Amino acid sequence: MSQRRASAVPVLSEEVREALARDRPVVALESTIISHGLPRPRNLAVGLELEELVRSQGAVPATVGVVDGVAYAGLDKAQLERLAGGAGVRKLGHRDLAPALAAGATGATTVSATALLAARAGLRVFATGGLGGVHREWTRTQDESADLSLLARTRITVVCAGVKSILDVPATLQRLETLGVGVLGYGTRRFPGFYLADSGEAVDWTVEGPEEVAAVMAAQDALGGPDSALLVANPVAEAEQLDPDLHDRVLAEGLAACRERGITGQAVTPFLLDFLAGATGGASLEANLAAVRGNVRLGAAIAGAWAARA
Ligand code: PSU
Ligand code: MN
């Protein structure tokens, strides 16, 4: 089941190394959501809470990040504190990994960098909030997250609540189709909308349990096609979603503010997430956290089903 490791990067925690050696379930977690997606000091508490959530489901957490030029899968508490601390912590997409390692930098890994490092470590399941994707002003800015193309060539299963609703969701789904990245709705025929249970778009395939996801993963491997990812799109519970009318209104304001202030590149996603949290009095943050918790729980269950096939 586990992949042979091609390099010494990333460094594994003892817990992760042991779990992999015994074919026990492991769930990779990203660190950008902690460093750049959530306000301090709550971000550190959430990072630790997500790790505990994985453990409570009988799996081992592997939070991925870069500290002083070393990439880790399985951060200890002091390292997580560094990444949650703010000052000097960079946001690292996969293209940023080599310069960060060479320069001795400290940085949080996005979905693309986390997926790359997790796959290198032999991890197969990764839980996050929402993927990056095609931004709404793509025709002008050409802003498409590196998450998508990396997932087209990395064999990992990513549990997410869809893509962030700040993006152009139909365009992102189209890109995923073009790139050949499989998308499964988990218990739903609708593509989730991150803060919302339903983005308004449909999914082509629906699964109802972790074993069904593991069966698709096994079929991917048996098929031997391109080393693409598998997305498990898991909606936030309707009772915990952001009010859709409030969502649409503040999102329009946030996009306008982004344009007026000339915010571009890596800064766009953190700016919009923060703007929404402020404009909804924290309600978007709660919906965001509810979605991430659900994904982490499901990620642990899928990792369990996958390990049981080993
Ligand atoms: N989802 C969240 N919060 C986040 C992100 C996703 O709930 O902070 C991060 C992820 O790390 C994702 C990144 O990979 O935003 C995408 O950034 P960009 O659009 O700059 O590629
Ligand atoms: Mn971008």
Ligand 1 atom showing the smallest separation from residue 143 Cα: 19
Q: Tell whether the model's pLDDT for residue 200 goes beyond 80.
A: yes
Using 50, 70 and 90 to split pLDDT, how confident is the model at 6? Answer: low
Q: Among the bound ligands, name the one nearest to the CA of residue 166.
A: 1
Q: What is the domain-level CATH number for residue 102?
A: 3.40.1790.10
- pLDDT on residue 109: 98
125-140 pLDDT tens trace: 999 999 999 998 899 8
Residues 139 and 113 occupy one common structural domain: no
Residues with C-beta atoms within 5 A of ion ligand 2: 143
Dihedral sign from CA coordinates of 293, 255, 281, 241: negative
77 is catalytic: no
164 is catalytic: yes
Q: Tell whether the model's pLDDT for residue 199 goes beyond 60.
A: yes
Residues 44 and 118 occupy one common structural domain: yes
36 in contact with ligand 1, CB cutoff 6 A? yes
Residues 140 and 110 occupy one common structural domain: no
Among 30, 51, 91, 144, the active-site one is 30
310 class by beta-carbon count within 10 Å (0-12 exposed, 13-18 middle, 19+ buried): exposed
Ligand 1 atom showing the smallest separation from residue 167 Cα: 19
Number of domains in the chain: 2
Residue numbers of the domain that contains 262 = 132-310
Using 50, 70 and 90 to split pLDDT, how confident is the model at 1? Answer: very low
Rounded to 5 degrees, φ, ψ at 166 are -70, -10
